[in-house]
Amino acid sequence: FENKTYNKFNDVNVVFKITNPENNNYLEKFVGLIDENSTISSIRFIYNSKKEIFDGQLLEVFIRGKKVLYQVIQGITKIETLEQKNETGYVVGEAIQLGVWIPEKGNLEKYGWVPFINSPVYIASPIPVPAIGENEYEIGKIPNSNYPVILKKDIALTHHTAILGVTGTGKSIFARNLIRQYLSDPNTKVICIDFTDEYNGKFSDLNPIKVIPEETAEQAFKDIDFIEKEVGKNYNKDNDATIAKRKQVAGYIHKSICDFLKNPETKLSIFELPDVSNTSGILEYTKYFFKLLFHIAKKDKSFGNRVCLVLEEAHTVIPEWNFAGIADKASQSLLNTIAQIALQGRKFNVGLLVIAQRTANVSKTVLTQCNTIISFQEFDKTSSDFLANYFGQGIADTLPNLKFRQAIAAGKGLKSNVPMIFEVPHIDEPEPVIAEVVEEVIDETEDK
């Protein structure tokens, strides 16, 4: 009450009724009181409020005059025994520390101490909207608040990012929107490794091209087939004919990649494969592509571009060793090539955007090189155990409870490098241009 005296006696151990207290919003924000077993990294609080709170709710506690923010991750019911063996039930909430908001920097920084027992816990107050930097992008907000979650696009791209989550959680729309943000940079080129045939339609407004023209791809498969047959006849050894053919295949794939990277008019390309099965020919073709792309990045610096490689349905391109399929040797060789990009790509401005449903099926060699992880809803224990290494066990346990368009983010690419639950805004994608519909309209026009 602004240090005002409401009675003139201030006697100790006497309660005075205040007839006309000043209005404030503390009761509107009050959630509960700090309970025992709270630590620096997480608090426990006795929920004692009519205010509804949810998983992901942002709370604030004052510690030594600093407003420290916490995010709810769990609620537990308990029973307390009273006098004469009566019992009462109550709820204890758990929340992890996000830190202190630094307005000048527009991020959160960890605070190094624990609140006192019985300190009040409040729903977080709104903040002035922070400015978003030129190379930054707001991917969402902390639920029920206006605190932004900001991605540093340069670092997210070059230090590799993984977007995980089961179907129907908003993962794919979020990933495609992030690709559009990358493409807003004039010196960034994106190559999508797409088995789903979705990207041509979803990005039709950007006029994507095939990084390897169709005629070149068909010739490559014929030549690779020839090489495999000749090597098979020659006790798995190359001869002069196969060596010459390999150089030929490498030559026209190298030229196709260079044409795309040099062309200022094209920023987005699709690398399509004819089948999703791991046949040795397809894997060999894919390995040529990745190896030559990385060679161009090292030797020619991608002609002044940053390159983002999007691995959609990543388990088909970089499977875990026990999911590699029938062509294990060829699959391992491709995996090693991509792993080299994951390990060294940031030195040469080549980054990976790995999109997958489950961590269990995706190569951990590649996934562990992703310095930024954004995970939507996951149910399997393998994913939860793996992601606990990034997020911490407490927040990783909330993965099955995330709502549609909610995700957990952590890593170097975030402006606030602390794991947190955030909410993705509704994203309107441009309507895909369907070739058949266009042809119908043309036909109708000609008839008229």
Amino acid at 258: C
Q: What sections of 301-380 are H helices per DSSP?
A: 328-344, 364-367
pLDDT value, residue 276: 39
**Radius of gyration, alpha carbons of the chain:** 28
Answer yes or no: are the C-beta atoms of 56 and 50 closer than 8 Å.
Answer: no
- Cβ contacts of 344 within 8 Å, gap of 6 or more: none
Q: Name the 3-class secondary structure at 59.
A: strand
pTM (2 decimals)?
0.88
Closest to 75 measured CA to CA, from 39, 102, 112, 44? 44
The residues of the chain scoring below 70 in pLDDT are 1-10, 84-85, 273-279, 321-330, 432-448
| Token pair belonging to 368 | 């562990």
Phi, psi of 4 (to 5 degrees): -85, 150
Q: Give burial (CB, 10 Å; 0-12/13-18/19+) of 160.
A: buried
Q: How far apart are the first and last CA of the chain?
A: 78
CA distances (Å), 118 to each of 73, 112, 177, 367, in order?
20, 19, 44, 42
pLDDT value, residue 393: 92
pLDDT value, residue 436: 47
Amino acid at 218: E
| Token pair belonging to 104 | 């000048």
Q: How many residues does the chain have?
A: 448
